[in-house]
Amino acid sequence: MAARPASDGRLARAALLAVAMVFLGLFLLLPLISVFVEALKGGVGVYLDSVTQPDAIAAIKLTLLVAAIAVPVNVAFGLAAAWAVAKFDFPGKSILVTFIDLPFSVSPVVSGLIYVLLFGAQGWFGEWLAANDIQIIFAVPGIVLATIFVTFPFVARELIPLMTEQGRGDEEAAVSLGASGWQAFWHVTLPNIRWGLLYGVLLCNARAMGEFGAVSVVSGHIRGRTNTMPLHVEILYNEYNFAAAFAVASLLALLALLTLVLKSALEWRYGYHGKGGGH
Amino acid sequence: MTTGSLALAASPPSGARRRWFGERTALPGFGLTFGFTLTWLCLIVLIPLSAVFIRTAGLGWSEFVAVALSERALSAYKVSFGTAFAAALVNGLFGLLIAWVLVRHEFPGKRIVSALVDLPFALPTAVAGIALTALYAENGWLGQYLVPLGIHVAFTPLGIVVALIFIGLPFVVRSVEPVLADIGPEIEEAAQSLGASRLQTMRRVILPAILPAWLTGFAMALARGVGEYGSVIFIAGNMPFRSEIAPLLIITQLEQYDYAGATAIAAVMLVISFALLLVINLLQAWARSRSID
């Protein structure tokens, strides 16, 4: 990583750096700053009013609830998938890994639509659900399902390369010394993968709280009931209530900043670098 | 693998059980974790996705063509693909430049800049959408200078490109960065000490080495852009035949209770996504084979 400016001359260096910074400033930094400026345009009073309205509070609560379900579910799945894929050999492994990654390539809108096709009024299980008075679409379960789908690969794709790299020697040693599978997992595997797990959870949580397209399809936008924070931002914005829209948006932007700070802390402090690639 | 063979000797029965599945190991839990993984994958991902194709197959060919390949749908694919391609090109150029600066140059605040590159992964798309719209609207910070010049960004296809540049940038930077770091300045120095000019070194040494990773990043940015919804709809203006993206058309059909139309368009989008995923996987395999050489 030691960067030696071997090749670029001083002038070229300055020019490259300037172009890169202007591009990042225009396309990334400026939008981020504008969220906070627009949010505080009407003053602190308006800001606090906007984020403490009953509808806003309900949206914040729903967003926290959805993430509180989706993230642990994906952690459980990611741990199981990584254990099976990294510690054992079986045919079709690479196909399985590709399938786990599949939700990343699906448009968010399609990610929501698939559950409407299953559980919506005209869906495969629509009639049965209606007869039994169970509502999934335009209700919280649909939002949770769509969120689980779009965040499905985050933890698994972080852990699979990490645990494959670490091999199974440590766990085999533990088991040969009399540890049970669970003990080997808790006392050997988990300490080895904690930073990677935390990294995956961070990204999974950010996406779970911020997902818009998929949730928008299944939510029905019922204020106070099926509105998550991003959907609430949209409703306020479409009502030309810009100050309130940006106020709620600024909370999500703070979440994004917190995610980046924690992620960077993992990278700088513990030298952990993401294994999962983009997203 | 001495510990491995030791473990195997300690408990032959479980090792023997796994024999059909390749290399033996004494570790337990394969049945449980593999079974759970496969079941959950089928329930959450594979069965719901298959619903799109099964429902589309039920339409019949002529009806499928009528809805999925209607003029409005075709222009929506064109808008989605065209803007995603343009944004991926911009990101390919500037993403490479940013990766270069991050790997090869030292400057104050470098860590913060590097963290900032990941902002699009962390910032909810709807937030990015309204922020970009506010910036480029007629009275916005950037719009007030651009609109008098005749450059209309908000509520035009150009706005879609801007939103997709935001969304796609980290894919290119993060794909190219590790490969550039691997090459190191030594290789360039070697090329130059052998008499290569600056341009020759770039063209003959660096670009070929990073090409697979660069193309991977480009394809990932493109794939993400084609399906993107949240950041686009606020800034796009959403005019049919001009600035209406394919995902929005799906939503429009759903709101009119036209499930067949929405499903057929979704099937086309899924086929495009899977084709791009295949390309990305092939590119990654190519990149891996390069890095081993």
Q: What is the ipTM of this complex?
A: 0.93
Write the pLDDT tens digit of every residue in B130-142.
999 999 999 999 9
| Minimum mean pLDDT range among A65-69, A226-230, A273-277, B105-109 | A273-277
Which residue in A17, A31, A80 is closest to B166 by CB distance?
A31
For chain A, where are the alpha helices, taking DSSP H only?
A: 10-24, 30-39, 44-52, 54-87, 93-101, 108-119, 126-131, 140-150, 153-166, 169-176, 181-184, 190-210, 213-219, 229-238, 242-269
Q: Examine the pLDDT at A245 and tell me if it is beyond 80.
A: yes
CA dist., res. A110 & res. B266, Å (int) = 6
Q: Which residue of B has its CA nearest to A202?
A: B122
Mean pLDDT of A18-33: 97
Neighbouring C-beta atoms of residue B19, cutoff 10 Å: 9
Backbone angles phi, psi at B154, to 5 degrees: -65, 140
Q: Between A111 and B19, where is the model more confident?
A: A111
CA dist., res. B133 & res. A245, Å (int) = 13
List of chain A residues whose C-beta atoms are within 8 Å of the C-beta of residue B4:
168-169, 172
Please tell me if residue B53 touches chain A, with a CB cutoff of 8 Å: no
Confidence tier at A278 by pLDDT (50, 70, 90): low
Query: What pLDDT does residue B249 have?
Result: 96
Q: CA B277, B283, B286, B287: dihedral to nearest 10 degrees?
A: -110
Q: Examine the pLDDT at A21 and tell me if it is beyond 70.
A: yes
Contact between B109 and A193 under an 8 Å Cβ cutoff? The reply is no
Tell me which architecture the domain covering A44-269 has in CATH: Orthogonal Bundle (1.10)
Query: What pLDDT does residue B280 have?
Result: 92
Mean pLDDT of A201-219: 96
Q: Examine the pLDDT at A70 and tell me if it is beyond 60.
A: yes
CA dist., res. A147 & res. A125, Å (int) = 20
Query: What pLDDT does residue A31 have?
Result: 97
Query: What pLDDT does residue B290 have?
Result: 77
Query: What pLDDT does residue A8 have?
Result: 65
Write the pLDDT tens digit of every residue in A114-142.
999 999 988 999 999 999 999 999 999 99
- Domain extent at residue B69: 61-292
List of chain A residues whose C-beta atoms are within 8 Å of the C-beta of residue B34:
84, 88, 90
CA dist., res. B87 & res. A6, Å (int) = 31
Residue B6: inside a domain, yes or no?
no
Which residue in A23, A32, A184 is closest to B98 by CB distance?
A23
**Cβ neighbours of residue A172 under 8 Å, at least 6 residues apart?**
B3, B4, B6, B7, B25, B26, B27
Confidence tier at A209 by pLDDT (50, 70, 90): very high
Please tell me if residue B185 touches chain A, with a CB cutoff of 8 Å: yes
Q: Between A151 and B196, where is the model more confident?
A: A151
Question: Does the distance separating the beta carbons of A102 and B127 come in below 8 Å?
Answer: no
Residue B71: inside a domain, yes or no?
yes
Q: CA A191, A197, A198, A204: dihedral to nearest 10 degrees?
A: -170
Query: How far A98 CA sits from the closest chain B CA (Å)?
Result: 9
Query: What pLDDT does residue A40 have?
Result: 95
With a pLDDT cut of 70, the percent of chain A lying above it is 96
B179: domain CATH number is: 1.10.3720.10
Query: What pLDDT does residue A25 have?
Result: 97
Question: Does the distance separating the beta carbons of A261 and B115 come in below 8 Å?
Answer: yes
Query: What pLDDT does residue B8 have?
Result: 39
Mean pLDDT of B257-274: 94
Residue B53: inside a domain, yes or no?
no
| Minimum mean pLDDT range among A136-150, B179-193, B242-256 | B179-193
B61-68 and B259-292 are packed helices; what angle lies between their axes, rounded to 10 degrees?
Answer: 80
Question: Does the distance separating the beta carbons of B11 and A175 come in below 8 Å?
Answer: yes
Residue B83: inside a domain, yes or no?
yes
CA dist., res. B8 & res. B25, Å (int) = 6
Question: Does the distance separating the beta carbons of B49 and A256 come in below 8 Å?
Answer: no
Confidence tier at A3 by pLDDT (50, 70, 90): very low
Which residue in B7, B55, B122 is closest to A260 by CB distance?
B122
Give the residue extent of every domain in chain A: 44-269
Q: How many domains does chain B divide into?
A: 1
Residue B38: inside a domain, yes or no?
no
Query: How far B291 CA sits from the closest chain A CA (Å)?
Result: 16
Residue B98: inside a domain, yes or no?
yes
CB neighbour burial string for A201-225, b if at least 16 within 10 angstroms, e if fewer: bbbbbbbbbbbbbbbbbbbbeeeee
Q: Examine the pLDDT at B15 and tell me if it is beyond 60.
A: no
Question: Does the distance separating the beta carbons of B131 and A32 come in below 8 Å?
Answer: yes
With a pLDDT cut of 70, the percent of chain B lying above it is 91
Question: Does the distance separating the beta carbons of A245 and B98 come in below 8 Å?
Answer: no
Q: pTM for the whole thing?
A: 0.91
Query: What pLDDT does residue B292 have?
Result: 61
Q: Choosing among B103, B110, B123, which should be mutated to test the A contact, i.e. which has the most A CBs within 10 A?
A: B123
List of chain A residues whose C-beta atoms are within 8 Å of the C-beta of residue B107:
17
CA atoms within 13 A on the CB side of A24: 24
Question: Does the distance separating the beta carbons of B269 and A110 come in below 8 Å?
Answer: yes
| Minimum mean pLDDT range among B3-17, B43-57, B72-86 | B3-17
Confidence tier at A279 by pLDDT (50, 70, 90): low
Cβ-Cβ contacts under 8 Å between A and B: the total is: 331
Tokens for B24, please give them: 């033996």
Which residue in A23, A32, A99 is closest to B94 by CB distance?
A23
**For chain B, give me the number of helices (H) and strands (E)?**
16, 0
List of chain A residues whose C-beta atoms are within 8 Å of the C-beta of residue B222:
none
Contact between A119 and A218 under an 8 Å Cβ cutoff? The reply is no
Write the pLDDT tens digit of every residue in B174-185.
999 999 998 878
Mean pLDDT of A98-105: 94
Query: How far A167 CA sits from the closest chain B CA (Å)?
Result: 10
Which residue in A31, A89, A203 is closest to B22 by CB distance?
A89
Residue B40: inside a domain, yes or no?
no
CA dist., res. A36 & res. A42, Å (int) = 11
Contact between A23 and B98 under an 8 Å Cβ cutoff? The reply is yes
Contact between B188 and B205 under an 8 Å Cβ cutoff? The reply is yes
Question: Does the distance separating the beta carbons of B116 and A237 come in below 8 Å?
Answer: no
Which residue in A106, A168, A264 is closest to B270 by CB distance?
A106
Q: Which residue of B has its CA nearest to A96?
A: B38
| Minimum mean pLDDT range among A113-127, B186-200, B262-276 | B186-200
Confidence tier at B254 by pLDDT (50, 70, 90): very high
Confidence tier at B269 by pLDDT (50, 70, 90): very high
Element (H, E) at B222: helix B207-227
Q: Choosing among A19, A38, A105, which should be mutated to test the B contact, i.e. which has the most B CBs within 10 A?
A: A105
Write the pLDDT tens digit of every residue in B76-117.
999 999 999 999 999 999 999 999 999 989 999 999 999 999
Please tell me if residue B271 touches chain A, with a CB cutoff of 8 Å: no
Which residue in A4, A29, A278 is closest to B116 by CB distance?
A29
Q: Between B205 and A53, where is the model more confident?
A: A53
Query: What pLDDT does residue A88 have?
Result: 93
